[in-house]
A and B are shown apart, each in its own frame.
Chain A
Amino acid sequence: MSDQDSIPHPEPSTPENPPGEGRSLADPYIEDYLDRVYAPLVGVIPYTRRRDLIDEMRSHLYELVQTRREEGAEEEEALREAFRQFGPPRRIARAWIEAESIPWTRRQGWLASLLTFGGAALVAFLMVASPYSGGEDWFQRRNLGYADIWAGLVLPLFAAILLGYHARARVYLTSFFVLSAMILVASLLYLADLPSGASYGGFSSIYEFFAVVLGLYWILLAFIGIGIGTAFRRLVRWARLTPHLSLPYRFTPE
């Protein structure tokens, strides 16, 4: 590839030292590796800073390779070890994207979570506490609209899928559990006041049973919805224009 005894040291591009002029030949494998870190950052980090941080990483990589060479490793082995020690390029790119965008993503996620689950929780609670249901059997109610079913049962599923697609599910799963717990407690407290009807498996009314089922349904919903959303996001990423960047990085010297 290059001289046996020396690794080429390109000069990093600083404002005083722009690339292209008088730069020695860079190691193609290191440049390829850096390209894979660089590519996902286009549009996320502005050009000057992107170039700067790539220069920094290049410097680090060269030092890693040099240390290995001084310890007696062959060039290929030194490169492989350096890449392994530095980390997979995708993970580094992702770490950079997170460092850039975390506050907004979290805020966006909390807002989305609040609006969707909060809204659906409110509607479901109203369903249970509706003035129609006082003392009447739930199955006898003819005026239960499709809107109630849609809002209380189906919409939260869509909300969970959206959250799973857009964001890291763990945080929003927490908020979901909080809201589910709240609606469960609120429903049970409210229903404690209703006149007791026929017994339904230990619950004093069908509405109490319904409130518990709803809470459990929502917890199940979170897992299903967020799972679907995450799977969908992976599918979309896999199908994008740069499929080779989605594959794990393998150092393959030619």
Chain B
Amino acid sequence: MERELLKGNTPTLILAVLEEGPLHGYAIAREIERRSDNALTFKEGTLYPALHTLEQQGWVISEWRKTAGERDRKVYTLTPAGRAALEERTRRWDRFAHAVDRILKKQERDEESPSLPPNSAWLPELHPGG
């Protein structure tokens, strides 16, 4: 399940990392790794097609930058449109995560909606005593 979730959300993660400032591909991979405390691993080569798609959508721009003594690097920068897209996706993710939390965690449900009926309301014969 983790891999499927990650595959769909890779562009969003890239946008979030670039919000702090422009980076090149290798650094984006390291930053995702660092921020997730090594919990999220993925094949780093798949970053580049995702970056290209983001560029096509106008959410990032790229440019080659020469660094003194080092190899050239292609650096990606977040655009204002990209920033807006990131906000929208963050909102959507929050809604989704919150909804799943409510289903999975009884404590959260009880805090937010104390009047929710228990399972026995649907099938009283299976849950004697409530």
Contacts and interface: CB of A to CB of B under 8 A. Distances in A.
A91 interface: yes
Main SS at interface, chain B: helix
Nearest to B28: A60
A127 B72 CA distance: 67
A87 B52 contact: no
Contacts, number: 67
A114 interface: no
Contact of A59 (B43, B52, B71): B71
Given A59-B26, A92-B43, A99-B53, A53 B48 contact: yes
B102 interface: no
Contacts of A92: 43, 45-46, 48-49
Contacts of A91: 43, 45-46
Given A12-B71, A95-B49, A88 B25 contact: no
B46 A87 contact: yes
A55 B73 CA distance: 9
A62 B50 CA distance: 20
A98 interface: yes
A52 B73 CA distance: 11
Given A59-B74, A60-B45, A98-B49, 20 more contacts: A9-B70, A11-B72, A12-B72, A56-B25, A56-B74, A57-B45, A57-B48, A60-B29, A60-B44, A64-B26, A85-B44, A86-B44, A88-B43, A91-B43, A91-B45, A92-B45, A95-B45, A95-B49, A96-B52, A99-B53
Interface of A: 9-12, 14, 17, 37, 52-53, 55-57, 59-60, 62-64, 85-89, 91-92, 95-96, 98-99
10 contacts: A17-B72, A37-B45, A59-B72, A60-B26, A86-B44, A87-B43, A87-B45, A92-B43, A92-B45, A95-B50
